[in-house]
Amino acid sequence: MPTLELIRRLKAVVGEPYVIHAPEDLLVYEYDGTIDRALPSIVVLPETAEQVAAVLRLGREAGLPITPRGAGTGLSGGAIPVGQGMVIALTRMKRILDVDASNRIAVVEPGVINLDISKAVAEHGLYYVPDPSSQKACSIGGNVAENSGGPHCLAYGVTTNHVVALEVALPDGELVWLGDPTGEEPGYDLRGVFIGSEGTLGIVTKVVVRLAPSPEAVRTLLAIFDEMDDASATVSAVVAGGIVPAAVEMMDRLGIQAVENSLKAGYPIDAAAVLLLEVDGLNETVAEQLAALVEICNRHHAREVRVAETAADRERLWAGRKGALGAFGAIAPNYYILDGVVPRSRLPEVLRRVGEIADGYGFPVANIFHAGDGNLHPCILFDGTIPGTADRVLAAGAEIMRLCVDVGGSLSGEHGIGIEKQDFMAWVFSEDDLAVMRRLRPAFSADDSFNPGKVFPGARGHHHGGDTGQRVMEQALAAGAYI
Please enumerate in sequence order all residues whose Cβ is within 8 A of that of 460, keeping only pairs 6 or more positions apart, or say none. 82, 419, 422, 452, 453, 454
User: What's the angle, vertex CA 472, arms to CA 469 and CA 473, rounded to 5?
Assistant: 85
Span(s) in the chain for CATH 3.30.70.2740? 332-443
d(CA 66, CA 290): 50
Q: Please report the pLDDT score of residue 142 as a whole number.
A: 97
Nearest-angstrom CA–CA distance, 142 and 67: 12
* C-alpha to C-alpha distance for 261 and 78, rounded to whole angstroms: 33
Degrees, nearest 5: CA angle 319-321-324: 100
The span from the CA of 217 to the CA of 57, in Å, is 50
Amino acid at residue number 74: G
Q: Residues 6 or more apart from 348 whose CB is under 8 A from it?
A: 228, 229, 232, 233
Helix (H) / strand (E) element for 233: namely helix 228-240
The pLDDT assigned to 461 comes to 59
CATH 3.30.43.10 placement within the chain: 4-92
Q: What is the pLDDT of residue 364?
A: 97
| Domain 332-443 classification at class level | alpha beta
CB 263 within 8 A of CB 307: no
Under 8 Å between Cβ of 178 and 191: yes
- Measured distance CA(210)–CA(158) in Å, rounded: 12
Task: Find out whether 457 and 425 touch, Cβ atoms under 8 Å.
Answer: yes
Residue extent(s) of CATH 3.30.70.2190 domains in the chain: 217-326
| β partners of residue 218 | 280
Q: Within the chain, which residues score under 70 in pLDDT?
A: 461-483
Q: Which burial class, exposed, middle or buried, applies to 78 when counting CB atoms under 10 A from its CB (0-12, 13-18, 19+)? A: buried
According to CATH, the topology of domain 217-326 is: Alpha-Beta Plaits (3.30.70)
Of 64, 65, 70, 86, the residue nearest 32 (C-alpha): 70
Closest residue by Cα to residue 266 from 302, 303, 311, 315:
315
247-252 and 175-179 beta bridge pairing: unpaired
Contact in structure between 407 and 352 (CB atoms under 8 Å)? no
pTM over 0.85: yes
Distance CA 379, CA 363 (A): 10
379, 462, 458, 451: which is closest to 146 by C-alpha? 451
As a whole number of angstroms, the distance between CA 406 and CA 273 comes to 25
- State the pLDDT at residue 17: 97
Residues of the chain with CATH 3.30.465.10: 96-213
Are the C-beta atoms of residues 256 and 268 closer than 8 Å to each other? yes
Give dist(CA 304, CA 301) in Å, integer: 9
Q: Are 453 and 459 in contact (CB under 8 A)?
A: yes
- Domain covering 96-213, topology: 3.30.465
User: Left (φ > 0), alpha (ψ -120 to 50) or beta: where does 480 sit?
Assistant: left
Decide which of 3.30.43.10, 3.10.180.10, 3.10.129.10, 3.40.50.1970 is the CATH code for 4-92. Answer: 3.30.43.10
